[in-house]
Amino acid sequence: MIGHKGSLLFTEIIGVAMAAIRANALRSFLTTLGIIIGVAAVISMVSLGEGASRQIQAQIEGMGTNVLSIQPARGRMTGGIASGQARLYADDAVALRDNSGGLLKVAPETSQRLQVTYFRWNDNTEVFGTWPEWFEMNNMRLAHGRLFDLGENQGRRRVAVLGAEVPNNLGGTPPELLVGRSIQIRGVSFEVIGVLEVKGSSTPWMNPDRRVYIPLNTAIYRVMGGRDNLGGISVQVPSPALMDMAFSEIDRILRRQHQILPGQPADFEIRNFADLLATFQETQQTFTFLLAGIAAVSLLVGGIGIMNIMLVSVTERTREIGVRKAMGATRLNILFQFLIESLALCLLGGALGVAAGWGGASLLAWRGGMTTAVAMNSVIIALGFSAAIGLFFGIWPARRAAKLDPIEALRYE
C-alpha cells in the first residue's frame, strides 16, 4: 500500500512539473533552444562524417586488402633529387609486370582534365589512361558494351569506356545508344565501346563515374603529347599473405629501374590500402572526438541557460512552493519536481535537436548530393548527454527550491 501511495505521489510530482512547463510554453521552448541547436548541429555533422567514412571504407575494402599503391615520393630529397622531380613511368609498370614472376597484377594510371565533345555537347572531364587490369582490381563492372583489351592498348587504339555519369553530361544520351558512336577528346575522335555501372564516390574531386577511360598508350601518345610519367601504379597480389614479398619485389625492381643504390632513399612510396584504411579510421575517430567536444560546449551553454531559467522560476514560484509545503510536500518532493522540470526540458530539447539534425542530414543528402548516415549511437549519446545536462544543471535550482522555509515562502509577494 505504501508503494502504491509512493507511485501516486511520484506521478503527481511529474504532473505538476509538466503543468509548469506547459504554462510557460514559449519560455520553455526558448530555454531549450541552445540544446536544440547544439544537438542538431552535432547530429548533422556526425552524419556527414559517418556517410563519408562508410563510403570511403567501402571503396577501400572493395579493392581488397591485397592491393598496393605506388606513388612518386613527395616532400623530401630522394637520392639527391628534389622530390618534385620524382617520377614514375610507363616502363616502370612494364618492368613490374614482366619481372615479378607472376606475383604482381599491375595497372598504371595517368589522368588529365580535358574537353570531351559529343555533337553540340561538351564537358570538361577527367580522361583516365590505364591498362585493362585496372577495372578488375577496382571492381568496376560494365553496364553496356565491353572493355578495351591489351592489344588495343599496345596498338594505341582510339577507344573509350565511359563512367556512369558521363552520358548525362553529354546531352543525357541513353548509355546504350552511345556504344558504337564517336566522341572527341581534345579534338581526337574516339569510339565509345562501353559504359560502366555506377560505382559511387567518396569525394567530389575523385569520382570514377565521371571519368572517360582510355588505353594508357593511347592516352600518352595520342592525347597527352607523349608525356609518359604516371600519376601512380596500382598493384595487386594473389593474397594478403604475400604482401611482404610484394613489397620486397616492388622495391627491388623499381630501385633497379631508377638506378638507386642500396641505402639511398627511394624516389617512390609503396602504400598498403589496408594501412590507408586503418589511418583513415584513426583520423575519423579524431574527427568524431572533435565533434564530441563541440557538442559538449554547445550543450554546456544550453545547460547554463536552463539553470538560469530554473533559478528565475524558483524565485517566481516561491509562494507556490510555500503552499505545497504547507499542504505536506516534503523537501524531497520539491527537489524531484524541479529536477524533473529541468530533465524534461533537456530531453525535449535533445529530441527536437535529433529530429532537426536528422532532417538537416536528409536535406544535405537530397539537395547537396552528399552521402550522410545517421548513426544510432550518436542519437543515443546526444539524448543521454542532454539528460545528464538536465540533471546536473537542475540540482542547484532544485535544492534552492527545496530549502525554502514554508512560512517565509507564503509571505513572499
β-strand partners of 115: 124
Q: What is the pLDDT of residue 8?
A: 46
Residue 295 pLDDT grade (very low, low, confident, very high; cuts 50, 70, 90): low
- Lowest mean pLDDT, pick from 24-33, 174-183, 255-264: 24-33
Whether residue 14 is predicted with pLDDT greater than 80 in this model: the reply is: no
Give the angle subtended at the CA of 207 by the CAs of 58 and 159, to the nearest 5°.
115
Whether residue 204 is predicted with pLDDT greater than 60 in this model: the reply is: no
Residue 39 pLDDT grade (very low, low, confident, very high; cuts 50, 70, 90): confident
CA nearest to 212, candidates 139, 146, 159, 149? 159
Q: What is the pLDDT of residue 82?
A: 40
Whether residue 105 is predicted with pLDDT greater than 60 in this model: the reply is: yes
Q: Which three cell numbers stand for residue 164?
A: 556512369
What whole-number distance in Å separates Cα of residue 58 and Cα of residue 202? 9
Q: What is the pLDDT of residue 13?
A: 67
67-72 and 232-236 strand pairing: antiparallel
Neighbours of 369 (CB within 10 A): 8
First-to-last CA distance in the chain?
Answer: 39
Q: What is the pLDDT of residue 391?
A: 77
- Lowest mean pLDDT, pick from 9-18, 20-29, 183-192, 262-271: 9-18
What whole-number distance in Å separates Cα of residue 290 and Cα of residue 297? 11
> How do residues 51-93 score in pLDDT, each as one tens digit?
766 766 666 655 555 788 898 887 543 433 344 567 899 999 9
> How do residues 298-314 score in pLDDT, each as one tens digit?
777 777 777 777 777 77
Top-ranked range on mean pLDDT: pick from 22-36, 238-252, 266-280 = 238-252
CA nearest to 246, candidates 259, 258, 233? 233
User: SS3 of 56, please?
Assistant: helix
- Lowest mean pLDDT, pick from 67-71, 242-246, 316-320, 358-362: 316-320
Asked if 152 contacts 207 with a C-beta cutoff of 8 angstroms, the reply is no
Whether residue 272 is predicted with pLDDT greater than 70 in this model: the reply is: yes
Q: Which residues contact 71 (CB under 8 A, 6 or more apart)?
A: 88, 232, 268, 269, 271
Whether residue 115 is predicted with pLDDT greater than 60 in this model: the reply is: yes
Q: What is the pLDDT of residue 357?
A: 84
Q: What is the pLDDT of residue 410?
A: 57
Asked if 266 contacts 83 with a C-beta cutoff of 8 angstroms, the reply is no
What whole-number distance in Å separates Cα of residue 7 and Cα of residue 282? 48
Q: What is the pLDDT of residue 387?
A: 80
What whole-number distance in Å separates Cα of residue 63 and Cα of residue 372? 22
The mean pLDDT of 326-344, rounded to a whole number, is 78
Q: What is the pLDDT of residue 117?
A: 94
Give CB contacts under 8 A, 24+ apart, made by 14-19.
Answer: 14/340, 16/337, 17/337, 17/338, 17/340, 17/341, 17/344, 18/344
Instruction: Compute the mean pLDDT over every residue in the chain, rounded to the nearest whole number.
Output: 80
Asked if 213 contacts 163 with a C-beta cutoff of 8 angstroms, the reply is yes
The mean pLDDT of 340-365, rounded to a whole number, is 83
